[in-house]
Amino acid sequence: MIEICAIASGSNGNCYYIGNENEAVLIDAGISCKQILLRLKEKNLDPQKVKGIFISHEHSDHIRGARVLAKKIICPVYLTAKTYNAVYKNMRPVWPEFFAPGTVITIGELEVYTFLKNHDASEPCSFRVSHKEKHIGVFTDIGDPCINVVNNLAMCDAAFLESNYDENMLHEGPYPYFLKKRIASSNGHLSNMQSFRLLRENAGNHMKCVFLSHLSAENNTPHLAMEAHQPLTSKFEIKLTSRSGPGEVYIL
């Protein structure tokens, strides 16, 4: 049995829980320690099971709460050395554990596969967590999907996948041109349609559920994200994450 839950998902903060009966990991900790603990409690998820916090990159919406949380629950924070050096000093974890992208880290019966992705950060990584031949991916903050993302997605039974923006909303919206260009670039974020195509072309037959993640408040809506992925609902479940609270606990 493995439980997964989006504790937070969006440009205002990201945190994803993946755990079995004995241990768990958090992928990113981009909201406050207080909020992470409150949301875990709300979903009856035990923070003492968390044996590692994995940081995808240095942007504050992915690491904001890691330093305090790690001290509170006494667990290491895993990140690359380049990411650590790029983090604001007041957010740097006290007990960093450095990994090289491409390595596998074992946390009890969980295996965490680390790999590089395309994003505008120092050394951005994504993760696939495995337990007893079940695989859960966390794929957010992605520009063009690289072969690492494609190959790891193909192995997954469930995934948190970025569906950040609607292309028309971004184009017609209030953001300045340079920011629109950054978001839509090969090192930016995945649009609804990019996410749909990535899933349509690469999700395996064993995929059971995809949680659309990191939705923009300004350049997307839950309705548009779900509508873009509607053709895939005959193959697997499509669900939404929330910017304002924890999502459902999904059991594999």
Rg of the Cα trace of the chain? 17
**pTM for the predicted model, two decimal places:** 0.97
Residue 28, pLDDT score: 98
pLDDT exceeding 70 applies to what percent of the chain?
100
**Tokens encoding 63:** 């690491």
- How far, in Å, CA of 145 to CA of 143, rounded? 6
pLDDT digits (tens, 9 = 90+) for 72-124: 999 999 999 999 999 999 999 998 999 999 999 999 999 999 999 999 999 99
The DSSP H or E segment spanning 238 is strand 237-240
pLDDT digits (tens, 9 = 90+) for 185-221: 999 999 999 999 999 999 999 999 999 999 999 999 9
User: Where in the chain are the domains?
Assistant: 3-243
Residue 184, pLDDT score: 97
pLDDT digits (tens, 9 = 90+) for 18-52: 999 999 999 999 999 999 999 999 999 999 999 99
156 pLDDT band (50/70/90 cuts)? Answer: very high
Sign of CA dihedral 54, 18, 160, 35: negative
- Rounded mean pLDDT, 63-68: 98
Residue 60, pLDDT score: 96
Q: Which CATH superfamily is domain 3-243 in?
A: Ribonuclease Z/Hydroxyacylglutathione hydrolase-like (3.60.15.10)
